[in-house]
Amino acid sequence: MAYHKKSYVEHTAVRVKDIQWHIHFFREVLGMTIRSVDGAADAPNQVWTVGGMQLISDPNFKGPEGRLAHLGIMTEDLEEALELAYSRGVTELPQGRNWFALPDGLCIELMQVKGNAVTEALAINPRE
């Protein structure tokens, strides 16, 4: 059985050693303002930008491998997508049923879209 609804990557979460440096870079170089902050503004645990970046503060991160924390994917039918995902052998993560790891270790956060957000997001072709 194949999933016949649509989905899109809503955010990409990455671990960063110096979160303030990254906040300034994404804001000042790329114009990606902060839409949400977890923790104190001067020392956040994590931030989300307009434009899909989630920066997770990890001062002890040694890199370069393992920087990607997870992909956040919005989907039109969360329950159907989860049923199909689990039927293919993904591993549930501690954060909840909508968080799972693929066989190669890539972590996914699957979220139910509100309204027509998937259709609207997929209608944008940034390369035209």
Render each residue's pLDDT in the chain as its tens digit; 128 residues: 788 888 888 899 998 888 998 999 889 877 888 999 999 999 999 999 988 899 999 998 876 666 888 999 999 999 999 999 999 899 999 999 999 998 878 899 999 999 888 888 888 876 66
Output the pTM of the full model: 0.78
Token pair 């989630």 in the structure block, residue: 54
3-class secondary-structure state, position 82: helix
pLDDT of residue 42: 93
Closest by Cα among 78, 75, 81, 70 to 48: 70
Q: Checking phi first, is residue 121 left (phi over 0); if not, alpha (psi -120 to 50) or beta?
A: alpha
pLDDT of residue 3: 80
CA angle 99, 61, 10 (to 5 degrees): 35
Q: What are phi and psi of 51, to 5 degrees?
A: 115, 0
pLDDT of residue 72: 93
Contacts of 2 (CB under 8 A, 6+ apart): 84
Strands 107-112 and 53-57: unpaired
